[in-house]
C-alpha cells in the first residue's frame, strides 16, 4: 500500500461522512493544503471559505454550532491552536459547542516552510482546555475513524494532522478505534514506547532495532491525547516499569506531559520523553528535519538504549 | 410608534435600569455604565421586536441575540428576567458563587442567553455564524447583536464585518452602543475607532445612525434593516454611558464600578422618580 498523509485521509473522510447535511466545513484560504477541498468538490454548498481570518473562523464555527450544526474548522495547526487559541477557548470550549478543529501541517514534517509554520506546541495548548478532546491519528485508517469518532462525539475536538505522506500502521478490515483508548500494536515486557502521530511508525521501527539488541519493547499507539487512556498506561507501567513517550512535538506539555500526569495518579515509573527539545523548527526536507531533531527510528533506538542501560 | 407604546417601552426600560443598579449593587461589582447605556436597545429588541418564547428558550426558529460586549450582562439579565425567562428575584444573585448569573453571560445555564460572551470581539463573529446557519437552512429567524464602540478596536470585529458582508447576511442586524467611552477614557483618546459609520459602509454594510435612547428610532432602524437585501445592517446608536443616573452619565469611571449604599439609594430614587412620571403620562394617555 502506498503512503498517505493524514491530511489527505481527513479530506477524504469529510467527503465520505459529509452526506450528513448537518456537517459544515470552514477553511481559512488553505483548502488545497488542508484538503477540505476534497469535501468542497462533493458538497460545495456546505463549504465556506472564511478568508485569512482564523480568529473569526473559530467564533463563526461556534455560532454555527449553536444552531445544531457539526462544524469542522480547518487551517494549519499553528494558526488554529495558537493564533485562534482564545477564540477556541472562549467561543468553543467554554460553551462546549460542537466544533471540530481539523489542524493540518502539525509538527516539523511541514518541511521547507520552516519554523513559522511548524507547530510543536499545539498538543500542550489544546490539552489544557477543559471540554476539549485531542486526537492525533497516525495513518490513513486511523484518521478516517478518528473523524468518524469526532462527528459522533458531542463537543469540541482538536484533530492533529500531518502534511507528510506516511506508511499504514493499521488494517482497515480489522482495526477498531475507540476514542480515549490507546492501542497496543506490539507486545513487549522490557519497556513501553507510547507514541502518537507519525512517531508511531518510527517507534515501531525503533522497537525492531531494539529487539535486535535484545530489548523487548511494547509499543502503544496513543491516538487520543485527551482524555488519555490511564488504564493502558498504568498496566504498561506495572508490567514494564519504564515508559518512553515519542512525539513530533515539544517535550513540554504534549504526549509526554499527558503520560506523566496519568501515571503519576496511578502507577508512577521512570519516563523518558522523546520529542522536540525546547526548540523551534527549521526549513528542510521532512526526513532531514527528523534526522536533525533526533526523531528517526535510529535516534529513538539510541536514546532508549542509553536510558535503558543506564537504569 | 404610537405614544402609549413609546411610554410603555420607557417604563420597561426604567424598570430594567433599576435592576441593573440592584444587580451591580448586590454583587458589589459589575458594569453599570455600559448596561445603562444599551438598555433602550434591549428594551426595543425584546419588548417590541424579537420572536422568542420564554417557555421554550431553545426554540429552533427563534430570533437570536448575542451580547458581543458581554460585560453588559446586567442589562441582558434584567431584560430576560423582566421578559419572563427566569425569576426577577434571581437578579439579586448576580455574580455570586452559586448563581447561574455569571459575571459575563453563559449560554449553557442562563435561559434565553444564546451565546456565551465576555471576550470582546468574539460575539459578533458568533452572530455571523448564526446568521450563516439561517441562510444555509433557509430559516426566517433574524440575528441581533450589540457591540461597544471601544470593542471596535478589536481586529476580530473587522474580520467578522468582512465575512458578514461577503456572505450577504441580510438577516443580521447589529447595534453599536456609541457612548464614546471605554475603560481608560474617551474612545478617541484611547485608540480612535472613528469614523465608525464610514468604516462599516466601506466594509459593505447598510448603516443607520439613530438616537440610542429613542425606542421609535431604534424600532424604525430594525424595520428598515429587514427591507435591505444582500447586506447586513449596523445601527449606530448614539448613547449616553450611565444613562438616567445623573452622577453616572458620561463618566467613564462608572464603567466597571459598583455604587455604594448611598449611591445606590440615590440612583434608585432618581429612577423611581422617572418611573412615576412615565406612569402618570401613561395614565393620561390611556
Ligand atoms: C478581549 C477583551 N479585552 C479586554 C476586555 C476588558 N474590557 C471589558 S469592557 C472593556 C471596555 C469596553 O468598552 P466599550 O466597548 O466601549 O463598552 P461600553 O462603553 O459599552 O461599556 C474592556 C477593555 C475584554 N472584556 N475583552
Ligand atoms: Mg463605549
Question: How would you write the pLDDT of chain B (286 residues) with one tens digit per residue?
Answer: 999 999 999 999 999 999 999 999 999 999 999 999 999 999 999 999 999 999 999 999 999 999 999 999 999 999 999 999 999 999 999 999 999 999 999 999 999 999 999 999 999 999 999 999 999 999 999 999 999 999 999 999 999 999 999 999 999 999 999 999 999 999 999 999 999 999 999 999 999 999 999 999 999 999 999 999 999 999 999 999 999 999 999 999 999 999 999 999 999 999 999 999 999 999 999 8
Q: Within a domain: residue A87?
A: yes
3-class state of residue B205 by DSSP: coil
Q: Distance from A56 to chain B by nearest Cα, in Å? A: 6
The residue whose CA is least distant from atom 9 of ligand 1 is B71
CA–CA separation, A106 and A111 (whole Å):
10
Instruction: Calculate the CA A32 to chain-centre distance.
Output: 20
Which ligand is the nearest neighbour of the Cα of B34?
1
Assess whether pLDDT exceeds 90 at residue A311. no
Query: B117 CB under 6 A from ligand 1?
Result: no
B183 touches chain A (CB under 8 A): no
Assess whether pLDDT exceeds 70 at residue A28. yes
Eight-state DSSP code of residue B242: T
Assess whether pLDDT exceeds 70 at residue A60. yes
Q: Kindly state whether residues A17 and A96 are assigned to the same domain.
A: yes
Q: How many domains does chain A have?
A: 2
Q: pLDDT value at position A1?
A: 62
Residue in chain A closest to B108 (alpha carbons) equals A95
CB neighbour list of residue A7: distance below 8 Å, 6 or more residues apart: A33, A34, A35, A104, A105, A161, A162, A163
In B69-171, DSSP assigns E strands to 143-148
Probe target for ligand 1 pocket from B29, B38, B42, B69, with the most ligand atoms within 8 Å of CB: B69
Q: Percent of chain A, pLDDT > 90?
A: 98
Burial B210-229 (b: 16+ CB within 10 A, else e): bebbbbbbbbbbbeebeeee
Q: Within a domain: residue A176?
A: no
Q: Which domain holds residue B54?
A: 3-285
Q: Percent of chain A, pLDDT > 70?
A: 99
A224-226 sheet: strands from edge to edge: A47-49, A23-27, A70-76, A99-104, A157-160, A133-135, A224-226
Can you read off the three cell numbers belonging to residue A170?
Answer: 493499521
How many distinct helices (H) and strands (E) make up chain B? Answer: 9, 5
CA–CA separation, B256 and A281 (whole Å):
44
pTM attached to this predicted model:
0.97
Q: Kindly state whether residues A30 and A88 are assigned to the same domain.
A: yes
CA–CA separation, B150 and B194 (whole Å):
10
Q: Kindly state whether residues A193 and A111 are assigned to the same domain.
A: no
Q: A17 has which bridge partners?
A: none
Phi, psi of A165 (to 5 degrees): -70, 135
CB–CB of A69 and B133 under 8 A? yes
CA–CA separation, B226 and B220 (whole Å):
10
Query: B69 CB under 6 A from ligand 1?
Result: yes
CA distances from B3 to A158, A163, B217, B279 (A): 54, 65, 13, 13
Burial (Cβ within 10 Å: 0-12, 13-18, ≥19) of residue A299 = middle
Q: Which domain holds residue A212?
A: 183-309
| Closest to A89 measured CA to CA, from A62, A63, A53, A66 | A62
* Residues B207/B213/B215/B218 CA torsion (nearest 10 deg): 10
Read off the pLDDT of residues A238-290 as tens digits, 9 standing for 90 and up.
999 999 999 999 999 999 999 999 999 999 999 999 999 999 999 999 999 99
Q: Kindly state whether residues A108 and A231 are assigned to the same domain.
A: no
Read off the pLDDT of residues A237-251 as tens digits, 9 standing for 90 and up.
999 999 999 999 999
Q: Kindly state whether residues A22 and A153 are assigned to the same domain.
A: yes
| Closest to A33 measured CA to CA, from A49, A16, A55 | A49
Q: How many domains does chain B have?
A: 1
Query: B112 CB under 6 A from ligand 1?
Result: no
CA–CA separation, B279 and B218 (whole Å):
22
Contact A210, A202 (CB under 8 A): no
Q: pLDDT value at position B47?
A: 98
Q: Within a domain: residue A151?
A: yes
Give chain B positions within 8 Å (CB) of A91: 116, 119, 122, 125-126
Contact A235, A175 (CB under 8 A): no
CA–CA separation, A75 and A97 (whole Å):
19
Give chain B positions within 8 Å (CB) of A65: 129
Q: Within a domain: residue A178?
A: no
How many CB atoms neighbour CB A287 within 10 A? 12
Q: Kindly state whether residues A157 and A15 are assigned to the same domain.
A: yes
Its ipTM equals 0.95
CATH value at residue B95:
3.40.50.970
Q: Kindly state whether residues A60 and A160 are assigned to the same domain.
A: yes
Q: Kindly state whether residues A189 and A160 are assigned to the same domain.
A: no
CA–CA separation, A5 and A20 (whole Å):
24
CA–CA separation, B166 and B205 (whole Å):
10
Helix (H) or strand (E) run with residue A249 in it: strand A242-250
In A105-190, DSSP assigns E strands to 133-135, 157-160, 165-166, 183-186
Assess whether pLDDT exceeds 80 at residue A87. yes
CA–CA separation, A69 and B154 (whole Å):
27
At residue A230 the predicted structure's pLDDT band, cuts being 50, 70 and 90, is very high
Q: What is the DSSP string of A252-265?
A: SSSHHHHHHHHHHH
Distance B30 CA to ligand 1 centre (A): 12
- Name the domain boundary from A122, A139, A166: A166
Mutate to test the interface with B, among A25, A63, A64 (most CBs of B within 10 A): A63
Q: Kindly state whether residues A20 and A113 are assigned to the same domain.
A: yes
Instruction: Calculate the CA B88 to chain-centre distance.
Output: 18
CATH value at residue A234:
3.40.50.920
Instruction: Calculate the CA A117 to chain-centre distance.
Output: 16
CATH value at residue A106:
3.40.50.970
Q: pLDDT value at position B244?
A: 98
Query: B181 CB under 6 A from ligand 1?
Result: yes
Q: pLDDT value at position A113?
A: 95
Residue in chain B closest to A61 (alpha carbons) equals B129
CA–CA separation, A68 and B151 (whole Å):
28
The residue whose CA is least distant from atom 25 of ligand 1 is B119
Contact B228, B207 (CB under 8 A): no
Q: pLDDT value at position A310?
A: 83
CA–CA separation, A133 and A203 (whole Å):
24
| Strands A217-221 vs A183-186: parallel, antiparallel or unpaired | antiparallel
Assess whether pLDDT exceeds 90 at residue A145. yes
Which ligand is the nearest neighbour of the Cα of A55?
1
Assess whether pLDDT exceeds 90 at residue A182. yes
Q: Kindly state whether residues A118 and A208 are assigned to the same domain.
A: no
Give chain B positions within 8 Å (CB) of A48: 132, 167
How many distinct helices (H) and strands (E) make up chain A? Answer: 13, 14
Q: Distance from B133 to chain A by nearest Cα, in Å? A: 6
Amino acid at each position: 500500500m502506498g503512503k498517505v498523509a493524514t491530511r489527505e485521509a481527513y479530506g477524504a473522510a469529510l467527503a465520505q461522512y459529509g452526506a450528513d447535511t448537518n456537517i459544515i466545513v470552514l477553511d481559512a484560504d488553505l483548502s488545497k493544503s488542508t484538503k477540505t477541498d476534497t469535501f468542497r468538490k462533493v458538497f460545495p454548498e456546505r463549504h465556506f471559505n472564511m478568508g485569512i481570518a482564523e480568529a473569526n473562523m473559530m467564533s463563526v464555527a461556534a455560532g454555527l454550532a449553536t444552531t445544531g450544526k457539526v462544524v469542522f474548522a480547518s487551517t494549519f495547526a499553528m494558526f488554529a491552536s495558537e493564533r485562534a487559541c482564545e477564540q477556541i477557548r472562549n467561543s468553543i470550549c467554554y460553551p462546549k459547542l460542537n466544533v471540530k478543529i481539523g489542524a493540518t501541517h502539525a509538527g516539523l514534517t511541514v518541511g521547507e516552510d520552516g519554523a513559522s509554520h511548524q507547530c510543536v506546541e499545539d498538543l500542550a495548548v489544546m490539552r489544557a482546555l477543559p471540554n476539549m478532546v485531542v486526537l492525533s491519528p497516525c495513518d490513513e485508517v486511523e484518521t478516517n475513524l478518528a473523524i468518524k469518532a469526532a462527528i459522533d462525539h458531542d463537543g469540541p475536538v482538536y484533530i492533529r494532522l500531518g502534511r507528510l505522506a506516511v506508511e499504514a500502521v493499521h488494517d482497515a478490515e480489522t482495526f477498531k478505534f475507540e476514542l480515549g483508548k490507546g492501542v497496543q500494536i506490539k507486545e513487549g515486557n522490557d519497556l513501553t514506547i507510547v507514541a502518537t502521530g507519525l512517531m508511531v511508525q518510527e517507534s515501531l521501527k525503533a522497537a525492531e532495532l531494539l529487539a535486535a539488541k535484545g530489548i523487548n519493547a511494547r509499543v502503544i499507539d496513543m491516538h487520543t491525547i485527551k482524555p488519555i487512556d490511564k488504564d493502558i498506561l498504568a498496566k504498561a507501567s506495572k508490567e514494564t516499569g519504564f515508559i518512553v513517550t515519542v512525539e513530533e512535538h515539544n517535550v513540554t506539555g504534549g504526549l509526554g506531559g499527558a503520560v506523566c500526569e496519568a501515571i503519576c495518579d496511578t502507577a508512577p515509573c521512570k519516563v523518558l520523553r522523546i520529542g522536540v527539545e525546547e526548540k523551534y523548527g527549521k526549513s528542510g526536507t521532512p526526513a532531514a528535519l527528523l534526522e536533525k531533531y533526533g526523531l528517526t527510528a535510529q535516534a529513538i533506538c539510541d536514546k532508549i538504549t542509553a536510558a535503558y542501560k543506564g537504569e | 410608534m404610537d405614544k402609549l407604546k413609546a411610554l410603555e417601552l420607557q417604563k420597561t426600560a426604567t424598570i430594567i435600569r433599576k435592576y441593573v443598579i440592584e444587580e451591580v449593587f448586590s454583587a458589589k461589582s459589575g458594569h453599570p455604565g455600559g448596561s445603562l447605556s444599551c438598555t433602550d436597545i434591549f428594551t426595543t429588541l425584546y419588548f417590541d421586536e424579537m420572536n422568542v418564547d420564554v417557555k421554550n428558550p431553545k426554540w429552533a426558529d427563534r430570533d437570536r441575540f448575542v451580547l458581543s460586549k458581554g460585560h453588559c450582562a446586567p442589562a441582558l439579565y434584567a431584560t430576560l428576567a423582566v421578559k419572563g425567562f427566569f425569576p426577577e428575584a434571581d437578579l439579586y444573585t448576580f455574580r455570586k458563587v452559586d448563581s447561574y448569573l455569571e459575571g459575563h453571560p453563559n449560554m449553557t445555564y442562563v435561559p434565553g442567553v444564546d451565546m456565551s460572551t465576555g471576550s470582546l470581539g468574539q460575539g459578533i463573529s458568533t452572530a455571523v455564524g448564526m446568521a450563516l446557519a439561517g441562510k444555509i437552512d433557509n430559516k426566517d429567524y433574524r440575528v441581533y447583536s450589540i457591540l461597544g464602540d471601544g470593542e471596535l478596536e478589536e481586529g476580530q470585529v473587522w474580520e467578522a464585518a468582512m465575512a458578514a458582508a461577503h456572505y450577504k447576511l441580510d438577516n443580521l442586524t447589529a447595534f453599536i452602543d456609541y457612548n464614546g467611552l471605554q475603560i481608560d477614557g474617551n474612545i478617541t483618546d484611547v485608540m480612535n475607532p472613528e469614523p465608525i459609520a464610514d468604516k462599516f459602509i466601506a466594509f459593505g454594510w447598510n448603516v443607520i445612525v439613530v438616537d440610542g435612547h429613542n425606542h421609535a428610532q431604534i424600532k424604525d432602524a430594525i424595520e428598515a434593516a429587514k427591507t435591505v437585501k444582500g447586506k447586513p445592517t449596523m445601527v449606530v446608536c448614539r448613547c449616553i454611558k450611565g444613562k438616567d443616573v445623573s452622577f453616572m452619565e458620561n463618566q467613564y469611571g462608572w464603567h466597571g464600578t459598583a455604587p455604594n449604599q448611598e449611591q445606590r439609594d440615590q440612583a434608585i430614587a432618581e429612577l423611581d422618580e422617572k418611573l412615576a412620571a412615565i406612569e402618570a403620562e401613561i395614565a393620561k394617555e390611556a
